[in-house]
Amino acid sequence: MARAFSIRRQRGFTAIAMTCFFALYLPIAVLVFYSFNAGESLAAFEGISLRWFAQAFENQQVIDASIRSLQIASVAAIVATIAATMAALATTRTEPYRGLTLKYAFINQPLMIPEIVTAVALLIFFARIKIWTGYSGLGYLIAAHTAFCIPFAYLPIRARLENMDLTLEKAAADLYATPWNAFRYVTLPLLWPGILAGFMLAFVISLDDVVITEFVKSAGQDTLPTYMLGQIRRTITPEMNAISTLFLLLSVCVVTVFFIVNRKRV
Amino acid sequence: MAELNAVEIRHVSKIFGFGEFAFAAVDDTSVSIRQNEFFTLLGPSGCGKTTLLRLIAGFEYPTSGEIMLNGEDIAAMPPFKRPINTVFQSYALFPHMTVAENIGFGLTMLGKPKQEIRDRVDAMLKLVRMEALAGRRTSQISGGQQQRVALARALAPQPKVLLLDEPLSALDYKLRKDMQIELKRLQAETGITFIFVTHDQEEALTMSDRIAVMSSGKILQVGNPREIYDAPADRFVADFIGETNFLKGRISAMNGGIADVDTAVAGRISATVPLDFQASGEVTVVLRPEHATLCPPNQPAACQMTGTLENVVYFGTDTHYHVRLSDGETLFTLREQNKPLQSARFGQGDTVGIALEANAARVLRN
Amino acid sequence: MTGVAGTIEAEKSRDIRKRWLLSLPALLIILIAATGPLLIVLVYSFLTPGPYGDVQWLPSPDGWISVVMEKDIFDGTFSLADAHVSIFIRSVVLSLATTVLTLLVGFPTAYFIATRPEKTRELWLFLITIPFWTNLLIRTFAILEIIRNEGLINGLMLKFGLISKPVQMLFTDGAILTGMAYVYLPLMVLPLYASMEKLDFRLVEAGYDLYATPFKVLRKIIIPLVKPGVVAGSILVFIPALGAYVTPSILGGGKNLMLGNLIELQFGQGRNWPLGSALSITLMLIVMVALLVYVRNAGSQGSRHG
Ligand SMILES: Nc1ncnc2c1ncn2[C@@H]1O[C@H](COP(=O)(O)OP(=O)(O)OP(=O)(O)O)[C@@H](O)[C@H]1O
Ligand SMILES: [Mg+2]
């Protein structure tokens, strides 16, 4: 029997899409699967074991790097989200004014330039400052992360603001809310999901960063990704798989929350 | 001492854009709205009704002119300081609050004590018959219910003036009729001045104490519904409100408030003349369709005019007839009430006569 | 009269001042930790390399000359730097190939997602979003695990006796291409999906009504309508691919360099910061040109529909 004609169908597209999803998840699945391998080789699966996870948890370098990653990501994401929220309020829902385009360009600039270029620029700049001030703490990494997190935090917040019904604030003003009260009781609660989404994006982006961190970090300031990069370049043990699996799990959790928050319309 | 007007608009203009794009949405308009009246702004789309309302609410500032509330100039006062509330066309209910929280919002912002707010919210819920849904989110109630909540929210702070921008336009016909009655009841019960915007003339005529007809940023006529309908000030008002026939003619004699007008199509007819009207040259006479009837063309004594019946439209309560008059140009509309089980007396293509009711015609001010 | 008009003007300028104040923190952070340092890179590209890295404050055009030329150590003549030129060419070719490959796979995938029923569409979209936000390093590592000599493919083939010694797949251009296509695929699918989601299928119906075959409908109706998505996706893949550092350094090894690795080299073993700076700016310029093409394309699209 002939298949009913569907205007949406294109021959072969479904097959390609399926292959695509398969190809996207197969390497990740292999990676996760072998993190539970009792043996060392990818050629043979020698039974399930948590041995590599245990090894990772005993590795002081991994623990230090993880804590550092989380510290940097938390601070950078919080600062970036606050700055991005303020910037979004300043750049939406207005007639164009002088400097508005400049602001857009500035805020999105970290997205436009290849990461390696920014990394090199920061390497040069911070090397100077380190010499001048003698300070070589985490501040440099936090500043760099905050800067490239801002455009990511800005995106969902701005989108949310632009979709917000302006008459709601008018209604609040009509009902005796001062501008501050209108912001606090109407704008902010409605903006909240956007701010949360922006924070999570910024957090994940900071957590994932390799290139800029690799160039900016001082000795002994490895984050988890730069530690992993160093290891992968030297010797690969299934411990890497275990660490990757845990990292993936964290990312999936954050992304899931982001997805739910961002999809939900009030 | 004469009572102060609730709202007084004095020579107010609102100009959008600059230079060659400048556009007066409200154009040097003056109008007074009395205490406790149901005042309606009526006019076609884009004539500036919403703009005028937003000027009163404080969402726009006038380019020039004064807006007085109970004798006080409020043109530059921000909206959150004006004792005026608005029922928005889209309702603008806060989606993150419950029905009760929405209604209490204004009082909360005014810093009223909690107990007073609770009592007032309860009273408002009762007033709009929404007690059962107090705890619902506003996204979980129907359009008609949202409408009531919007009303209750605007009434709760007991404003001096309530502004309503086409509040019923999103409702279906039946619900709209119910809400019209409801609105009248609320206005009578609360004694608050209502300024109501609509482009539905029937709604305006049935609900208002007084109506202002607007066109292109200007107010053309203010009056009670009967005045607006029976004595339109000019051609625009006559045309916009209800259906109207226009006949051209010359005044041959004036006798008190009644003039004899010689028309080409209907011969001499007598028509009411506006007060202090100066007769000069050609005038236009207006005649509502319900003030004419069809008659057999072979009774010249009863019929002033003859013509060919071009179109018969059945409307349930009555039937509309469109007659091409003998000059071959004018299309005259008239309306007859239907009687049960009686078919139309005339059919398309028939030659008919038209009889005009005495003194129903009216001379228009030019 | 002027009083009211004056208030409006004052109100407006107060609003704009407030808006500048609000955007100040974001602008400052980005200026200090992103935009500002780029200018320093420009300055450094005209200086002389220091002996142990960094620079000496002596102006010199050598950094820029070395981008494509080589100075002979003995007679001081210049010749084309074959190594650099081939890296430039490899970078551009691999990035273009990545873009085309992801487009060929991503287009049907995005179309597939966009034509799912409302409910399942969310799920498919979610499945694309997860890799989008998971660590690029880990995804590159996942590819490495599969293609390295001790990896899954070689391991399995050895085990089943298909080969006697591992096939060298790692450290080839093919490995880089596979890896980049893999990690950048979601960047292609998401913008494509965004424009396909808005596709008005009544137009497709009209096409069929006027005797177009499914392929003609695809070519004459669907592709032209989603062109903004195609352009956006291509740019989003091309730009990071051109500046890629992590993927080629893991899968390409020390020999198959791309621009990103070449730049890094100058700040590491090469100890030639001016050259590294000049290369960075060159990379940035190529990206700018690509962005300009995008903006012009997007602009003309917008005006045609508006
Ligand atoms: N912010 C603005 N900028 C420029 N022009 C405007 C603005 N607001 C309104 N106008 C113009 O002013 C005129 C009057 O608009 P207004 O909204 O008051 O009309 P309205 O009578 O309420 O019409 P409707 O019945 O369609 O709601 C319109 O021509 C409109 O285009
Ligand atoms: Mg309006």
ipTM of the complex: 0.90
Q: How far is A113 from chain C (nearest CA, A)?
A: 6
The environment of the single-atom ion ligand 2, i.e. residues with CB closer than 5 A, is B 50
What is the A186 CA–ligand 2 centroid distance (Å)?
24
- The CATH architecture one would assign to domain B7-235 is 3-Layer(aba) Sandwich (3.40)
Cα–Cα distance between B251 and C13 in angstroms, integer? 60
Judgement on whether residues C33 and C142 belong to the same structural domain of the protein: no
**Residue C50 is assigned to a structural domain of this protein:** no
Pocket of ligand 1 (CB under 6 A): B 16-17, 23, 25, 43, 45-51, 199
**Residue A203 is assigned to a structural domain of this protein:** yes
- Helix locations, B156-212, DSSP H: 173-190, 201-207
3-class DSSP state of A28: helix
Measured over the CA atoms of residue A5, residue A6, residue A10 and residue A12, the dihedral's sign is negative
Task: Name the residue with the closest Cα to ligand 1, atom 8.
Answer: B51
Q: Which ligand is nearest to the CA of B63?
A: 1
Instruction: Measure the CA angle with vertex A257, ends A193 and C241; round to 5°.
Output: 100
**Closest-CA residue to B161 (of B3, B2, B7, B4):** B7
Is B144 within 8 Å of B175 (Cβ atoms)?
yes
**Closest-CA residue to C262 (of C42, C89, C73, C136):** C89
Q: Which ligand is nearest to the CA of B52?
A: 1
> Looking at this protein, which amino acid is placed at residue C135?
N
* CATH number for the domain that contains residue A179: 1.10.3720.10
Q: Residue A62 phi/psi, 5° resolution?
A: -65, -45
Question: Residue-wise pLDDT tens for chain B (366 aa)?
Answer: 457 899 999 999 999 987 778 899 999 999 999 999 999 999 999 999 999 999 999 888 899 999 999 988 987 788 898 999 999 888 899 998 999 999 999 999 999 999 999 999 999 999 888 899 999 998 889 988 999 999 999 999 999 999 999 988 878 888 889 889 989 999 998 999 999 999 888 899 999 999 999 999 999 999 999 999 988 988 999 999 988 999 888 888 887 788 888 888 888 888 888 877 776 678 889 999 999 888 887 776 778 888 899 988 888 888 889 999 888 888 889 888 888 777 767 888 888 888 888 878 888 876
Cα–Cα distance between C102 and C277 in angstroms, integer? 30
- Region of residue B256 (phi > 0: left; psi between -120 and 50: alpha; otherwise: beta): left
Domain ranges of chain B: 7-235, 243-364
Judgement on whether residues C21 and C125 belong to the same structural domain of the protein: no
Cβ within 8 Å, pair B75-C1: no
> Looking at this protein, which amino acid is placed at residue C83?
A
Judgement on whether residues C91 and C18 belong to the same structural domain of the protein: no
**Residue A208 is assigned to a structural domain of this protein:** yes
Judgement on whether residues C173 and C246 belong to the same structural domain of the protein: yes
Mean pLDDT score of chain C: 87
Is C264 within 8 Å of C279 (Cβ atoms)?
no
pLDDT (tens digit per residue) in B352-364: 888 888 878 888 8
Task: Tell me the CB-side half-sphere exposure of residue C31, using CA atoms within 13 A.
Answer: 8
Q: Determine the residue among B18, B61, B66, B67 to mutate to test chain C binding: the one whose Cβ has the most chain C Cβ atoms within 10 Å.
A: B61
pTM (two decimals): 0.83
Cα–Cα distance between C129 and C123 in angstroms, integer? 10
Task: Name the residue with the closest Cα to ligand 1, atom 27.
Answer: B45
Which residues constitute the domain of residue C170? 81-305
**Residue C44 is assigned to a structural domain of this protein:** no
**Residue A16 is assigned to a structural domain of this protein:** no
Calculate helix-pair angle for A13-34, C82-114, nearest 10 degrees.
110
Question: Residue-wise pLDDT tens for chain A (266 aa)?
Answer: 456 777 788 888 999 999 999 999 999 999 999 899 888 877 677 888 889 999 999 999 999 999 999 999 999 999 999 999 999 999 998 888 888 889 998 998 888 889 999 999 999 999 999 999 999 899 999 999 999 999 999 999 999 999 888 899 999 999 999 999 999 999 999 999 999 999 999 999 999 999 999 999 998 999 999 999 999 988 888 899 999 999 999 989 988 888 887 776 54
Judgement on whether residues C24 and C97 belong to the same structural domain of the protein: no
CB pairs under 8 A between B and C: 15
- Could you tell me how many helices (H) and strands (E) chain A has, helices first? 12, 0
A-chain residues near C283 (CB < 8 A) = 114, 116-117
**Residue A87 is assigned to a structural domain of this protein:** yes
Q: In ligand 1, which atom is closest to the CA atom of B14?
A: 12
> Nearest by CB to A31, which of C15, C141, C150?
C141
* CATH number for the domain that contains residue C178: 1.10.3720.10
- CATH domain B243-364 topology: OB fold (Dihydrolipoamide Acetyltransferase, E2P) (2.40.50)
> Looking at this protein, which amino acid is placed at residue B352?
V
Task: Quote the number of domains for chain A.
Answer: 1
Rg (CA), chain C: 25
% of chain A with per-residue pLDDT over 70:
97
Rg (CA), chain A: 23
Exposure string over B236-268, b if 16+ CB within 10 A, otherwise e? bbbebbbebbebebebeeeeeebbebebebbee
Which residues constitute the domain of residue A205? 60-263
Task: Quote the number of domains for chain C.
Answer: 2
Task: Name the residue with the closest Cα to ligand 1, atom 26.
Answer: B45
